[in-house]
Amino acid sequence: AIDCASQAIDFIQNDNPDNIQIYDDDLEKAIRERHEREKLLDSVDIDENFVTYYQAKVDVNTEEIVGAEALVRFLDPTASGAVRSPWFFIPYYEQTGKVTDIDFFVLRCACKMLRRRLDSGEKVVTISCNFSRIHFVKPDFAIRFEQVLNEYRIPKELIEVEITETLVMEEMQENLAKQTLDDLHAKGVRLSIDDFGAGYSSLGVIEKIPASVIKLDRSFLLNQKDRERQVKIMKSIVELADNLGSQIVCEGVETDADVELMREIGARVAQGYRYAKPVSEMAFEERLSQSVE
Ligand code: C2E
Ligand code: MG
Ligand code: MG
Ligand code: MG
């Protein structure tokens, strides 16, 4: 270790000018790129540059589509419309507040699709939409949400509100978030706890939120060092959900072994690459129409 450290000091002292320069250039480049990205994200129009993808939720026994999650994508105009994942823009939009417009855009996309399918008598399933923590400290979220559903005449049970476990627990300190979630529940809106088990207060969250759905985080399937113990824990969660009248959805189901584990713990609904990836609205609707018995 001493050797290593003295080599490093040597390196810095002897090779100094050039190497420090390279480091500075990299840092400068990273900062410049970030600025450019933020400028781009500030300037783009939501209706023009964002689309909603859908990932099916599937019953592992029948392989029928029983629901879907709406997931937003950015079509990057500076990269010939490359499809960018939420990690590219959600963190920044959470800082600027634009995420609330994104979330409502996605909700509207889902409502429009459902309305069109209802009108033409095609199969529909419940669509879940992700909502950032920022909404829940605003007193008017429940009302705004209801307005959109009313506008498209969408029955409450066809849209689910996904909120992540950790974000909610943090906001729960403030009563406003609890009030908003209770308001939604009172209006008959289905709440879904996203990434359940990924945080540190999972039991606290189901105690406080009247959840219709609990989405078991992908880490449950990934982390199988002590499989027997893992199965016991997951079985207990499934039983707890049953007792509370909540439905379980397993996230990130990729392999046959994951499905086997789901059977063992008594979970039926899977969301994951094993059954479906997030796809464009058109591709999703095609598959949904085919899945009619
Ligand atoms: P999330 O809500 O937990 O969504 C599930 C993510 O897991 C999706 O990533 C999905 O593509 C990915 N996934 C699904 N099945 C598998 C699998 O079998 N294996 C693996 N490795 N991954 C799988 P995506 O679409 O990139 O979204 C990432 C996150 O971005 C979402 O996590 C959600 O927190 C956020 N997000 C997406 N859309 C919205 C939105 O409209 N509003 C807000 N506020 N956040 C959103
Ligand atoms: Mg989600
Ligand atoms: Mg999730
Ligand atoms: Mg997750």
**In the Cβ-directed half-sphere of 155, how many Cα atoms lie within 13 Å?**
6
Higher pLDDT, 99 or 209: 99
- 173 pLDDT tier (thresholds 50, 70, 90): low
Residue 175's pLDDT is what?
A: 73
Residue 65's pLDDT is what?
A: 97
Identify the DSSP state of 279: B
Residue 109's pLDDT is what?
A: 98
* Rounded average pLDDT over 12-16: 52
Distance (angstroms) between ligand 3 centre and the Cα of 28 equals 34
Please write the tens of the pLDDT for every residue from 124-140.
999 999 999 888 878 89
Instruction: Decide if 211 contacts 193 (C-beta within 8 A).
Output: yes
Q: Closest residue (by CA) to atom 38 of ligand 1?
A: 71
Residue 220's pLDDT is what?
A: 85
Of 60, 130, 161, 284, the one to substitute when testing ligand 1's pocket (max ligand atoms within 8 A of C-beta) is 130
Q: Evaluate: CB of 273 within 6 angstroms of ligand 1.
A: yes
Q: What is the pTM of this model?
A: 0.91
Distance (angstroms) between ligand 4 centre and the Cα of 68 equals 15
Residue 170's pLDDT is what?
A: 73
Please write the tens of the pLDDT for every residue from 18-60.
555 666 888 999 999 999 999 999 999 999 999 999 999 999 9
Q: Evaluate: CB of 58 within 6 angstroms of ligand 1.
A: no
Question: Is the pLDDT confidence value at 142 over 80?
Answer: yes
Q: Evaluate: CB of 258 within 6 angstroms of ligand 1.
A: no
What backbone phi and psi angles, to 5 degrees, belong to 200? -120, 10
Distance (angstroms) between ligand 4 centre and the Cα of 257 equals 19
| 127/47 Cα distance (integer angstroms) | 20
**In the Cβ-directed half-sphere of 278, how many Cα atoms lie within 13 Å?**
17
Residue 16's pLDDT is what?
A: 55
Residue 14's pLDDT is what?
A: 52
Among 85, 104, 184, 97, residue whose Cα is nearest residue 148: 104
**Other CB atoms within 10 Å distance of the CB of residue 285:** 17
Among 221, 214, 231, residue whose Cα is nearest residue 272: 221
* Spatial CB neighbours of 45, under 8 Å, sequence gap ≥ 6: none
Please write the tens of the pLDDT for every residue from 245-268.
999 999 999 999 999 999 999 999
Q: Evaluate: CB of 76 within 6 angstroms of ligand 1.
A: no
Residue 5's pLDDT is what?
A: 53
| 229/124 Cα distance (integer angstroms) | 38
| 22/218 Cα distance (integer angstroms) | 39
Question: With a cut of 0.90, is the ipTM above it?
Answer: yes
**Other CB atoms within 10 Å distance of the CB of residue 184:** 23
Q: Evaluate: CB of 126 within 6 angstroms of ligand 1.
A: no
Beta strand segments in the chain, E: 50-59, 65-76, 82-84, 126-130, 159-164, 190-196, 213-216, 247-251, 269-271
Q: Using CA of residue 135, residue 136, residue 140, residue 144, what is the dihedral sign?
A: positive
What backbone phi and psi angles, to 5 degrees, belong to 211? -90, 135
